[in-house]
């Protein structure tokens, strides 16, 4: 039992480390790092359920009879692409937030927002016109 589920438990721990970073840390880049760890751990979870003892990579060949399950591999290929797409967009947002607020710390940004709440809304400093 310990051996049979050991893999899953490691994955759960990794996932939770990622999730903890996302929630607890105030630095926007670090949040994205945490999100990446979270997602990568999910990939590991999918891939490890595809493994068959004694199986080999799902590429057909004469001598091999037992293969690991190809379907989770396909799903995770898609999920990796989704992951990089999210990361790229998140980073683009971080760059713009840095330009607009001058900081990438959650605390500073919320502080600045509370200040402007009372004043009239400011326009974003568009880099394009600069």
Within 14-53, the residues that bind other proteins by CB under 8 A are 15-16, 19-20, 22-33, 35-40, 42-53
Interface residue with other proteins among 63, 115, 119, 120 (CB under 8 A) is 120
Please state at what angle helix 2-24 crosses helix 28-50, rounded to 10 degrees.
160
Q: Does 115 bind other proteins (CB under 8 A)?
A: no
Q: Does 126 bind other proteins (CB under 8 A)?
A: yes
Instruction: Point out which residues pair with 67 in neighbouring strands.
Output: 56
Q: Which of residues 46-85 bind other proteins (CB under 8 A)?
A: 46-61, 66-85
Q: Does 111 bind other proteins (CB under 8 A)?
A: no
The torsion angle over the Cα atoms of residues 90, 92, 95 and 96, rounded to 10 degrees, is -100
Q: Which helix (H) or strand (E) covers residue 127, if one does?
A: none
The residue with tokens 């091999």 is: 64
CB of 34 to other proteins, least distance (A): 9
């Amino acid at each position: 039992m310990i051996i049979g589920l050991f893999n899953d438990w490691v994955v759960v721990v990794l996932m939770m480390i990622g999730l903890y970073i996302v929630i607890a840390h105030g630095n926007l880049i670090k949040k994205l790092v945490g999100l990446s760890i979270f997602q990568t751990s999910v990939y590991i979870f999918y891939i490890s359920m595809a493994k068959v003892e004694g199986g080999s990579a799902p590429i057909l060949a004469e001598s091999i009879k037992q293969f690991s399950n190809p379907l989770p591999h396909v799903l995770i290929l898609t999920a990796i692409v989704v992951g990089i797409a999210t990361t790229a967009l998140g980073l683009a947002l971080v760059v713009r937030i840095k330009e607009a607020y001058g900081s990438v710390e959650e605390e500073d940004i919320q502080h600045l927002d509370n200040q402007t709440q009372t004043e009239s809304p400011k326009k974003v400093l568009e880099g394009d016109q600069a």
